[in-house]
Amino acid sequence: MPTPERTSLDEIVGAAREILEADGLARLTMQAVAERVGVRAPSLYKRVRNREALIQLVASASVDDLGARLGAVVRTGDPRADLASLARAFRAFAHARPAAYRLIMAWSPEVVVAVDVERLAQASAPMLEVSAQLAGPGNALEAARLVTAWGNGFINMELAGAFKLGGDVEEAFEYGIERLARALAL
């Protein structure tokens, strides 16, 4: 097995993120990560204090990933269209990485996630900017929270398979975003 120097923190976090998505939070263990990166579990403790610290690193990396996806959204200059694009990117992240999404967006008695406020602010910046354009700078935070809360509720229901009354879920998402954008506009 490689020595710890051959296993970087990025590799450890990457392996942990893969395990989270494939096997769930319960199976995200130091032993599973060690096996994935090719070292013995005690070697991981030279880089990561414990499982809780590993989960925090995974949560932080997931917030960074979400922030990068939101930051990559091409802005049109039309805040309503930009809000819709950001909401779609938020939803796409949840579909691509549902376990990571749940880790950073849902409260769980199993684990308390505490991501650095500056990291959260950076990830949230695109939504706050568009919210300020729609609702005004004084209401940007409240508007961004409204959109995020609605999106989170919609996405959690969608991921849980809770939309059972028929209809087009994609159309419902677009309808919701369009209505929110209209309601927020000055």
Please give the CATH topology (third level) of the domain spanning 1-48. Arc Repressor Mutant, subunit A (1.10.10)
The tokens of 48 are what?
């990561």
Does this chain's domain 1-48 share its CATH topology with 59-184?
no
Q: Does domain 59-184 have CATH number 1.10.357.10?
A: yes
pLDDT digit string (tens) for the chain, length 186 residues: 444 467 899 999 999 999 999 999 999 999 999 999 999 988 888 899 999 999 999 999 999 999 999 999 999 999 999 999 999 999 999 999 999 999 999 877 777 788 888 999 999 999 999 999 999 999 999 999 999 999 999 999 999 999 999 999 999 999 999 999 999 997
The tokens of 138 are what?
């004084």
pLDDT per residue over 117-169, tens digit each? Answer: 899 999 999 999 999 999 999 999 999 999 999 999 999 999 999 999 999 99
What pTM was estimated for this model as a whole? Answer: 0.91
Query: What's residue 114's pLDDT?
Result: 82
Residue type, 31: Q
Domain boundaries, the chain: 1-48, 59-184
Cβ-based neighbour number of residue 184 at 10 Å:
23
77: left (phi over 0), alpha (psi -120 to 50) or beta: left
Query: What's residue 1's pLDDT?
Result: 47
Cβ-based neighbour number of residue 156 at 10 Å:
16
- In eight-state DSSP terms, residue 8 is -
The tokens of 97 are what?
């990485």
Selection from 90, 82, 89, 183 nearest residue 142 by Cα: 183
Place of tokens 């009354």: 165
Residues 147, 153, 157, 163: is their CA dihedral positive or negative? negative
